[in-house]
A and B are shown apart, each in its own frame.
Chain A
Amino acid sequence: MKFWPSWERRKDDLREEIESHLRMAVEARVSRGESPDEARAAALREMGNPPLVADVTRAQWGWMWLERIAQDLRYSVRQLVRTPGYTATALITLTLAIGANTAIFSLLYAIMLRSLPVSQPDRIVQFELQIGPPDKNRKPSSNVSGKIYDVLAAAKPASLSGLCAWSKFPPLNLHDENGTRPAQTAQLTGDCFQTLGLHAALGRLFTEADDKPGGGPEGYPVVLSYDRWRSRYGGDPGVLGRVLDFQGKKGVIIGVLQPGFESVVVGDTPAMYLPSEVGEPTERHGFGSYNRILLGRMTDGATLAQVQAQADPILQAALKAEKFTYYMFSEGKMTKANSSHLMVLPGRTGMSYLRMAYAQPLYLIEGMVGLSLLVACAYLAMLSGTRALARRRELAVRVALGASRGRLTAQLCCESLLLSAAGMALGLLFAWTASRGLVSLLDRPGSDPLTVNTAPTGMVLVFALAVTGLAVLLSGVIPAWRASRVDPAHEIKEGALTHAGRRSRSAGSWLAPLQVGLSLVIVTIAALMATTLVRLLSINPGFSTSGITFTRADFFTNAKPATSGQPKPDAAKTKDEDTRRPASLYLALLDRIRSAPGVESASLTQMEQFSGMLSMRNISSTLPSGEKRVQDSIMSLTVAPDYFRTMGIPMIQGHDFTANDKEDAPQVCILTKSAAEYFFPGKNALGQMINLGDESDPKARVIGVVGDTLFLSFRDEQRPAIYTPFLASRQNQYLSFAVRSRSAVTGEAAVRNAFKQIAPDVPLYETVTVGQLVGSAVGRERMVVLLSGFFALLTLALSAIGMYGLLNASVLRRRREIGVRMALGASQAGVIRLVLREALWLVVPGLVLGAAGAWGATRFVRSLLYGVKPLDPWVLAASAAVLLVTAALACLLPARRAASVHPMEALRAE
């Protein structure tokens, strides 16, 4: 800053000018015959006070206000340094309040509000598929099929200048000298980069011409993400042309994407981008595989309604031409949807799987953290109020000398301004660290790590500034304005000896009830969420929730590395049979795992409970009476022997599958208890036959009945299920190895060692413990409980300290009155009652206020709750009790202090 030195130079200049004036005046007098000393004294008398002359002259420069601010700031810094206790308390409070608000907002902003880092993001639209009539439980899905992209791209609606279908399917595995690992990729249609308006940092991006089956002559073009290029290849420009081996599919690096852009899916960080044709043709061009996000760019001037009007008829025509009907899940079963529509939505913020689950919790927490900010501000206002009270006499003197009220307010505000500025700086640091922790709370174990950019820039910074401004206003300006209303005559005359007769209703006495009220709201919400979490976790899911690990293996892809021979043509891989491994391989793997030290049992499945997947089929039974019992959408799992023992699912009747239940053996199945009761009511299901489909389909003998389990989450209803032997199945080979072992580490090691020895070419995914699965099933609730608990504690602490300060000050002020009462015979208990009564005056209105607030606020959390009502009387009573206890703790010291007042001393002090 260049301003300050030049300002000082000007000040020097002025001083010199006035000095020269004085010198000339002295000289003139001396030349008239006065002695130098006399001359100087006379000239000075004539001039007045030189610094004052300089002061009033400087006022003409028009920068006086700045100088005053500098003065005020210096004064405030001195005051703050002199009271380190106050400064530290205020700073910590502000840091937490501003930091917490900013942290939550940065997460909320990143997930809900931030525009995609593409050119003109508000021209982007997203297409969603509405299957069946829309209702509360049937929202349009953002996952659409590749065929929808194909028909839209072929028809080219006039309102769209570009389309983009974005997918993470199929998952690709990268084979290199370090082995075979799942690669984080995104598969995009060739026009994606152009539609989004993205550029290459190096090389080129692929285009529509590159997006064809088999890729180019050298392989599929691969674009690296900027981060991947820097971290894996050290930013080497020579990376272009390098060949990658996606287990038989060759890829060649043609470019590096611009920094800053990662994915249209918020939180995803693909390392590479490949053309969509790298996937299986059925997956890529089918109507029925919902694995793509479809975006478009509107032409200038086009509206959402126009796009809607043009796009949906294209889908309708295509469905008609192809005679295709979508199925929908309705009343527990799959039925044909009579209508399906393409819905056009704004796509500015991209797409996020987190939004649906976390929008409400995030807004709820933002609301709570906002309330905490108010509590913190009330606390600080009380603090600065008492500080101003202590300076009342000084302020009165200054008013008597003619200082304006605005000037006093400005100076008093200066402190809170300084504190808030420092609090904001620290708060931003706090937010930056805290928001990373928050992101990890959202992370789902076993899936790709979530990367949400919560850096305090742009909007987040603006938000932090606004929050800080609010804090300054509430905790600084308003109390300062109140404090600056002093009556000098009264104040100076009576000064510190004034005693308020009755309870002084001025500073803070309405802030404390407000704090108590806001705290009650937060504590109630925290208590409701904690009750919800406890109720959810006390549900028995039907399997054991500890001691199991799951490790996924991908047997599906062709494991033969491309380098060891000529790549297999893609077409040969479309059938499962070509890639199926012999049953003996799985059995050998399981044997090897079971024999590892520390392993109790091991099995494998295609879909374990709580994995987030559902697989259903239709089965039926025919009763001896001729009655047919049908279940259209029964949960269907294929498992290897020992699955129930490993999972801790009780075997109620019959026995488990064995290694002999193979394809050529008679078909068998195991039913859950509820399924057995449904299909064979009032009979022993064991030995009965189930139709795997209709009566004409093959039948399977029921060889066992097992306990029911939950499949999706604790909130899920219990679904009947059928288990069929894995070794007899012909389904895909994306398998999960379940191991019951002494510890998660031994479980994981057993699987990895077995694969290393027997199937080193099969890529393994991250190991997930059953505890993590269960934890992530209540992840949303856990996050809300953690955060609301934190804010509840924070606001309770602030309220307690604030109330303590208020009561303590009141006891000090009423010392003489208490002394008189005791001299007149009041007991210690009576004095304590006096203090308690004053405390009740703060708490009771607060509780009433808080109860009203809780009544209003808890209705917003209704849908997050489980097993508890928003206005549960027990929870409300417990929350109020917590506040009462807090208040009691806050009165403890002031009451003791009041009781220990010695009447004689108190009176003599007068």
Chain B
Amino acid sequence: MAEKPEQYRNRVDLLQGTLDMLILRQLQWGQMHGYGIAQGIRLKSGEALQVETGSLYPALHRLERQGWVKSKWKLTESSQRAKFYKITKDGKKQLAAEHKRWERMVRAIGAVMSPDSAMSPDKERA
């Protein structure tokens, strides 16, 4: 069993900050269970972002450990038992900070990629 978790973790690392931000964002409008969060991200991104279960739950539990979300067992509309997550005050603060950082990053990357600064030293990937 030693090895496969490593592979997963690598992918989580890649997405980490971003996935956490996306999850917190989903929770901003009310509590939701894991499946709902994944579906929400999928729909909002126009099917572009698929959140894998193997990344979603580690992220949720990580966020809970940080104290940014809280969880509770509840019934869904279809009377299914599910664990619902709710954003905390700290989580909201974190979301705002992440959001700001993200916007700065997008602006910076946008500036680099815009046509007037065409001389990019990096090799492009095929």
Given contacts A17-B34, A52-B54, A56-B5, is CB(A24)–CB(B65) below 8 Å? no
A16 CA / B57 CA spacing, docked (Å): 12
The answer to whether A24 touches B58 (Cβ under 8 A) is no
Contact B83 A62 (CB under 8 A): no
Chain A residue numbers with a CB within 8 Å of B78 are: 27
CB atoms of B57 and A53 under 8 A apart: yes
- Report whether A24 and B35 are in contact in the complex, using a CB–CB cutoff of 8 Å: yes
- B76, A55: Cβ atoms under 8 Å? no
Contact check, A403 vs B2: say whether CB atoms are below 8 A apart.
yes
Q: Which of A18, A57, A61, A407 contacts B2 (CB 8 A)?
A: A407
Let me know if A402 and B54 touch, CB within 8 A: no
Contacts known (A17-B83, A61-B65); A402 close to B9, Cβ less than 8 A:
no
- The answer to whether B6 has its CB under 8 Å from any CB of chain A is yes
B-chain residues with CB within 8 Å of residue A47 when the two chains form the complex: 53-54
Cβ of A23 within 8 Å of any chain B Cβ, yes or no, is yes
Interface residues of B in 30-87 (CB under 8 A from A): 33-36, 39, 52-54, 57-58, 60-62, 65, 76, 78, 80-83
Chain B residues closer than 8 Å to A55, beta-carbon distance: 1, 5
Is there an interface contact between A53 and B53, defined as CB atoms closer than 8 Å? yes
With known contacts A21-B53, A24-B35, A52-B4, A60–B81 Cβ distance under 8 A:
no
| Of B4, B60, B80, the contact of A24 (CB 8 Å cutoff) | B80
A13 and B81 alpha carbons, distance in the complex (Å): 12
Q: Is A57 a contact of B6 with CB atoms below 8 Å?
A: no
CA distance A24 to B33 in the complex (A): 10
> Which residue of chain B lies nearest to A64 when distances are taken between CB atoms in the complex?
B5
Chain A residues whose C-beta falls within 8 Å of the C-beta of B52 in the assembled complex: 48
**Bound CA span A14–B57, Å:** 9
Question: 8 Å CB contacts to B: which residues of A7-66?
Answer: 13-14, 16-18, 20-21, 23-25, 27-28, 46-48, 52-62
B34 touches A57 (CB 8 A): no
B residues near A402, Cβ cutoff 8 Å = 2-3, 6
Bound-complex Cα distance A389 to B40 (A): 54
In the complex the two chains form, is B58's CB within 8 Å of A25's CB?
Answer: no
Contact B35 A60 (CB under 8 A): no
**How distant is the Cα of A46 from the Cα of B80 in the complex, in angstroms?**
21
**Residues in A whose Cβ lies below 8 Å from that of B102:** none
Chain A residues near B5: list those with CB within 8 A.
52, 55-56, 59
Per DSSP, chain A at the interface is helix
Nearest CB in chain B: distance from A9 CB, A: 12
From B39, B58, B81, B82, give the contact of A57 (CB < 8 A). B58
User: Is there contact, CB below 8 Å, between A60 and B58?
Assistant: yes
User: Which residues of chain A are within 8 angstroms of B8 by Cβ–Cβ distance?
Assistant: 52, 56
**B57 contacts across to A, CB distance below 8 A:** 14, 17-18, 21, 53-54, 56-57
Q: In the complex where A24-B33, A27-B78, A57-B58 touch, is A62 in contact with B65 (Cβ < 8 A)?
A: yes
Give the distance in Å from the alpha carbon of A60 to the alpha carbon of B52 in the complex. Answer: 16
CB-defined contacts of A401 to chain B, threshold 8 Å: 2-3
Shortest C-beta distance, A74 to chain B (Å), equals 14
A57 to B8, CA, bound (A): 10
Query: How many chain-A residues does the 8 Å CB contact rule pick out?
Result: 31
Main DSSP-derived SS at the B contact region: helix
CB distance from B9 to the nearest CB of A (A): 7
Quick one: which of A27, A60, A61, A62 has the most chain B CB within 10 A? A60
Q: Which residues of B contact A59 (CB under 8 A)?
A: 5, 9, 58
Bound complex: CA A58 to CA B12 (Å): 14
For the complex, give the distance between the alpha carbons of A48 and B57 in Å.
13
Most central of B5, B53, B83 by chain A CB within 10 Å:
B53
Contact check: which of A24, A56, A58 meets B82 at CB < 8 Å?
A: A24
A476 to B83 Cα, complex, angstroms: 45
Q: Please judge, given known A-B contacts A55-B5, A56-B5, whether A20 and B53 are in contact too, CB under 8 Å.
A: no
Q: Would A60 and B83 count as touching, CB distance under 8 A?
A: no
Q: Which residues of A contact B61 (CB under 8 A)?
A: 14, 57-58, 60-61
> What distance in Å separates the Cβ of A494 from its nearest Cβ neighbour in chain B?
24
B60, B61, B80, B81 pick with most chain A CB within 10 angstroms = B61
Identity of the chain A residue whose Cβ is nearest the Cβ of B55 in the assembled complex: A56
Residues of chain A lying within 8 A (CB to CB) of residue B76: 24
Q: Which residue of B lies closest to A398 (CB)?
A: B2
Contacts of A21 in B (CB 8 A): 33-35, 53, 57, 82
Give CA–CA (A53, B9) in the complex, Å. 11
Q: Which residue of B lies closest to A404 (CB)?
A: B2
A452 vs B79: C-alpha distance in the bound complex, in angstroms? 73
State in angstroms the CA–CA spacing of A99 and B82 once bound together: 56
**Which residues of A sit under 8 angstroms from B80, Cβ to Cβ?**
20, 23-24, 27
A567 to chain B, nearest CB (A): 83
Chain B residue nearest in CB terms to A62: B65
Look across to chain B and name the residue whose beta carbon is closest to the beta carbon of A25: B35
Known: A25-B35, A60-B61, A60-B62. A20 touches B81 (CB 8 A): yes
Which of A21, A25, A27, A54 has most chain B Cβ within 10 Å? A21
Contacts of B12 in A (CB 8 A): 56
Residues of A within 8 A of B65 (CB): 60-62
- Taking CB atoms and an 8 Å cut-off, the chain A residues in 52-98 that contact chain B are 52-62
Instruction: Tell me the minimal C-beta distance from B24 to chain A in angstroms.
Output: 16
Is A20 a contact of B82 with CB atoms below 8 Å?
yes
Q: Name which residue of chain A comes closest to B78, CB basis.
A: A27
Closest to B54 in A: A53
Taken together as a complex, chains A and B put the C-alpha atoms of A58 and B52 apart, in Å, by 16
In whole Å, how far is B59's beta carbon from the nearest beta carbon of chain A?
8
Find the residue from A14, A54, A55 having the highest chain B CB count within 10 A: A55
Chain A residues with Cβ under 8 A from B81's Cβ?
A: 16, 20
Contact status A56-B58, CB under 8 Å: yes
Q: Which of B1, B9, B53 contacts A18 (CB 8 A)?
A: B53
Residues of A119-135 whose CB lies within 8 A of B: none
User: Are B54's CB and A48's CB within 8 A?
Assistant: yes
CA distance A398 to B62 in the complex (A): 29
Q: Which residue of chain B lies nearest to A57 when distances are taken between CB atoms in the complex?
A: B57
Which of chain A's residues have a CB closer than 8 A to the CB of B2?
398, 401-403, 407
- Bound-state Cα–Cα, A16 to B83, Å: 9
B23 CB, nearest partner CB in chain A, Å: 13
A60–B68 alpha-carbon span in the complex (Å) = 14
Within the assembled complex, what's the spacing in Å between the Cα atoms of A60 and B9? 10
Shortest Cβ distance from residue B46 to the other chain A in the assembled complex, whole angstroms: 18
User: Which residue on B lies nearest to A24, using beta carbons?
Assistant: B35
Residues of A within 8 A of B9 (CB): 56, 59
Q: Which residues of B contact A17 (CB under 8 A)?
A: 34, 57, 82-83
Chain B residues near A48: list those with CB within 8 A: 52-54
| Distance of A398 Cα from B8 Cα, bound (Å) | 19
Closest-by-CB residue of A relative to B76 is A24
- Shortest beta-carbon distance from A24 to chain B in Å: 4
Interface flags for A402-419 (1: CB within 8 Å of B; 0: not) read 110001000000000000
User: How many angstroms between the C-alpha atoms of A55 and B82 in the bound complex?
Assistant: 19
How far is it, in angstroms, between the C-alpha of A99 and the C-alpha of B4 when the chains are bound?
A: 45
Q: Which residue of A lies closest to B8 (CB)?
A: A56
Give the shortest distance, in Å, between A400 (CB) and chain B (any CB): 10
B43 to chain A, nearest CB (A): 12
CB distance from B15 to the nearest CB of A (A): 13
Distance of A13 Cα from B65 Cα, bound (Å): 15
Interface flags, A367-409, vs B, CB<8A=1, else 0: 0000000000000000000000000000000100111000100
Given A24-B35, A52-B8, A58-B61, 16 more pairs with CB closer than 8 A = A14-B61, A21-B34, A21-B82, A23-B80, A28-B39, A48-B52, A52-B4, A56-B5, A56-B9, A56-B12, A57-B57, A60-B62, A398-B2, A401-B3, A402-B3, A407-B2
Which A-B residue pairs are the 5 nearest by beta carbons?
Answer: A24-B35, A57-B57, A60-B61, A402-B3, A47-B53
CB<8 Å pairs between A and B, sample of 24: A14-B57, A16-B81, A16-B83, A18-B57, A20-B33, A20-B35, A20-B81, A20-B83, A23-B80, A24-B33, A27-B78, A27-B80, A47-B54, A48-B54, A52-B5, A52-B8, A53-B53, A54-B57, A56-B5, A56-B57, A57-B58, A59-B9, A60-B65, A403-B2
Q: Which residues of B contact A (CB under 8 A)?
A: 1-6, 8-9, 12, 33-36, 39, 52-54, 57-58, 60-62, 65, 76, 78, 80-83
